[in-house]
């Protein structure tokens, strides 16, 4: 018998069957059929015992070659099948990223504090004010000194804040304390210094910090302040501007009144009240005392005054040549009055039942 011929025939059969196999299971069956212990190659080799001793090495050599070839054909076929499977999978799951979404997700909206800030700023922008910003971590000079609040001034007690270790943020010693700003007024100082000379008209929204926490105070809150400096700016300009603002923010029928008050950076200083937006200034609502204005018909909304000559001097303006007025308000308070919200802390609890009402 011719074992070499049998092996060659076996190899040819293996090539054909492996080439036509289409899945892993078929390949595994072929592996067992050709290479297994009871497979075809082993069967041929079992006949070697009947061969003459000198023929055995040649047959052994051919058997090894055929075994190697079948093994590598199986490896290649496995790769071919795997590639085809991947190809199929990629075709099947093709995604068109340009298609619109199938489901419209609920869209969020701006926080009431953000909305109120934007509303206030937009009103002053219509009056010709530029919007300015400044750092929340501020130097003592901008936050207090430049605003006529020296180190021993009692107004500092009302604005106790959080101090920052100057050395830790790389400030050289002797440059004064570093703190979280207690109001947005330092932005006005920076804006005036940046402008270099009057006239200037800016509105400054931003976060401010004080060490307070109760129903009407949070350690962080928002202010919008504004300043207008130029030749012959008078108290009448202050009243007219703030009355126009109040009508735009609270409604066309809103009245304003001005009461004397004290702030270190203005002289004279004034509180501005508006007629109550809930009861229309009557002090009562459906026969009962109005809770929002506590029956007075008036709401305190902002502080204001004519810019103190010392503040003008501190930024290099000549108080003999120019005058100006400044004002400031708490954004949370404005939102509370406009929307009838009783507790300031609601703004920061992130409760969607509250936030989704705006
Ligand atoms: Zn009222």
Domains and CATH numbers, the chain: 3-92 (no CATH), 112-355 (3.30.930.10)
Residues in the chain: 358
CA–centroid distance, 208 to ligand 1, in Å, is 28
CA–centroid distance, 275 to ligand 1, in Å, is 8
The helix (run of H) or strand (run of E) holding residue 236 is helix 235-250
In this structure, the number of other CB atoms found within 10 A of the CB of residue 3 comes to: 21
Question: Which among 219, 253, 234, 167 has a CA at the least distance from the CA of 348?
Answer: 219
Alpha carbon separation from 183 to 96, 138, 250, 314, 344 (Å, rounded): 52, 10, 24, 18, 18
- pLDDT tens across 261-320, in order? 999 999 999 999 999 988 889 999 888 998 888 899 999 999 999 999 999 999 999 999
Within 8 A by CB and 6+ apart from 99, the residues are: none
The DSSP output letter for 109 is: -
CA–centroid distance, 285 to ligand 1, in Å, is 7
In this structure, the number of other CB atoms found within 10 A of the CB of residue 301 comes to: 24
Sign of CA dihedral 240, 125, 250, 268: negative
SS3 assignment, position 134: coil
CA–centroid distance, 223 to ligand 1, in Å, is 23
Give me the pLDDT at residue 1, please.
Answer: 55
Q: Cβ distance 212 to 158 under 8 Å?
A: no
Q: The tokens of 125 are what?
A: 């922008």
Question: Which among 269, 324, 279, 280 has a CA at the least distance from the CA of 302?
Answer: 269
CA–centroid distance, 272 to ligand 1, in Å, is 16
SS3 assignment, position 116: helix
CA 195 to chain centre: 31
Q: Cβ distance 303 to 271 under 8 Å?
A: yes
Q: Whole-model pTM? A: 0.68
Q: Which of 110-114, 153-157, 237-241 has the lowest mean pLDDT?
A: 153-157
- What is the average per-residue pLDDT within 68-82? 93
- Mark the residues whose beta carbon lies below 5 A from ion ligand 1: 276, 278-279, 290, 292-293
């Amino acid at each position: 018998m011719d074992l070499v011929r049998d092996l060659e025939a076996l190899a040819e059969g293996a090539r054909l069957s492996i080439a036509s196999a289409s899945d892993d299971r078929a390949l595994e069956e072929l592996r067992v059929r050709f290479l297994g212990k009871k497979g075809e190659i082993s069967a041929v080799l079992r006949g070697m015992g009947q061969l003459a001793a000198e023929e055995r090495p040649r047959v052994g050599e051919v058997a090894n070659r055929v075994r190697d070839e079948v093994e590598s054909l199986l490896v290649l076929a496995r790769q071919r099948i795997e590639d085809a499977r991947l190809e199929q999978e990629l075709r099947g799951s093709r995604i068109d990223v340009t298609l619109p979404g199938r489901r419209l997700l609920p869209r969020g909206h701006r926080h009431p504090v953000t909305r109120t800030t934007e509303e206030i700023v937009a009103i002053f922008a219509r009056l010709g004010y530029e919007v300015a910003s400044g750092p929340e971590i501020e130097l003592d000079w901008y936050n207090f000194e430049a605003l006529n609040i020296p180190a021993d001034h009692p107004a500092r007690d009302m604005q106790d804040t959080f101090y920052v270790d100057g050395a830790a943020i790389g400030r050289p010693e002797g440059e004064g304390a570093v703190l979280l700003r207690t109001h947005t007024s330092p932005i006005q100082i920076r804006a005036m210094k940046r402008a270099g000379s009057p006239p200037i008209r800016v509105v400054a929204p931003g976060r401010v910090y004080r060490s307070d926490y109760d129903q009407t105070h949070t350690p962080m809150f928002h202010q919008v302040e504004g300043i207008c400096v130029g030749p012959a700016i008078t108290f009448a300009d202050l009243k007219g501007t703030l009355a126009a603002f109040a009508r735009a923010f609270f409604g066309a029928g809103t009245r304003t009144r001005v009461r004397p008050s004290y702030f270190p950076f203005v002289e004279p200083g004034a509180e501005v009240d508006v007629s109550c937006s809930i009861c229309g200034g009557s002090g009562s609502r459906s026969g009962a005392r109005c809770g929002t204005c506590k029956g007075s018909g008036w709401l305190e909304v902002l502080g204001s005054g004519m810019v103190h000559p010392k503040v003008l001097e501190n930024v290099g303006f000549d108080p003999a040549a120019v005058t100006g007025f400044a004002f400031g308000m708490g954004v949370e308070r404005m939102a509370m009055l406009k929307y009838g919200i009783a507790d300031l802390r609601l703004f920061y609890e992130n409760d969607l039942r509250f936030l989704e009402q705006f």
